[in-house]
Amino acid sequence: MTRAEWIEVLAIAVVTAASCPAAKLFPSTMPLWQIVLGASALLLAQSLVRDVAILLRNSRSKANEPRKEAQCFCLESTVGATGIVAGALLASLRSSTQVAVGRRDFVLAVTGTMALGFAIKDLVISWKPFGVRREKDHRNLIVRWKGKSGCSRE
C-alpha cells in the first residue's frame, strides 16, 4: 500500500471512532431515504477528499503523464450519485419507512460505507466495451460519452 492509502485507512479509523459519539446526535429511527442519502453523501465526500489530495499531490510533481480519452466513469462516483438519486426519489415519494438505527448499526454503516469507498476507489466502469476494471487514481482520463477510443488497457 502507498503512503496515501495508509493515510486514508487511518482517516477511516478516525471517522469510525468519531462516529460512535456522533451516533447519539441522530434519532434512533430514521426514514430510509435519509439513510440512503447520508451513506451516498459520505461516499461522495470521501471520494472528493481523495480527489483533492491527488490533485494537490500531482500539482507538485513535474511529471506529465499523457492524457487519454476513455468511455468510462469512476465506479465510486457512479455508486454515490445513484444513491443520491435513489434517496431523492424515496424522499419525493414521501416514503415514511422508518428504520431502527442503533449506535452499533450507525458505526457499522459509516465504517462499511467508507471501506466500500476505499475498496472501489480505483475501479472504473466502461461502456465500450462494457466492464469494470482497475485504473489507478484515473487522474489522466478524459471522459468521453462518445468517442474514437474506449477504456483500453494501454
The pLDDT mean for the chain works out to 84
In which residue are the cell numbers 470521501 written? Answer: 46
Q: What is the pLDDT of residues 127-154, one digit of tens each?
A: 777 889 888 766 655 666 665 544 544 4
Dist. CA 150–CA 127, nearest whole Å: 8
In which residue are the cell numbers 429511527 written? Answer: 29
Task: Name the pairing type of β-strands 98-100 and 68-70.
Answer: unpaired
Concatenating the DSSP letter of every residue in 9-40 gives HHHHHHHHHHHHHHGGGS-SEEEHHHHHHHHH
Give the lowest-confidence range in 8-12, 110-114, 122-126, 137-141: 137-141
Instruction: Please report the sign of the dihedral spanned by the C-alpha atoms of residue 86, residue 92, residue 97, residue 103.
Output: positive
pLDDT band at 11 (very low <50, low <70, confident <90, very high): very high
Task: Give the total residue count for the chain.
Answer: 154
Predicted pLDDT at 145:
61
pLDDT-above-90 percentage for the chain: 43
Dist. CA 41–CA 150, nearest whole Å: 29
- For residue 54, give the nearest of 40, 79, 74 by alpha carbon: 74
Give the lowest-confidence range in 43-47, 56-60, 84-88: 56-60
SS3 of residue 124 by DSSP: strand
Q: What is the pLDDT of residues 35-57, one digit of tens each?
A: 999 999 999 999 999 888 877 87
CB 125 within 8 A of CB 78: yes
Domain spans of the chain, in order of start: 3-60+67-143
Give the lowest-confidence range in 16-20, 65-69, 140-144: 140-144
Dist. CA 114–CA 79, nearest whole Å: 13
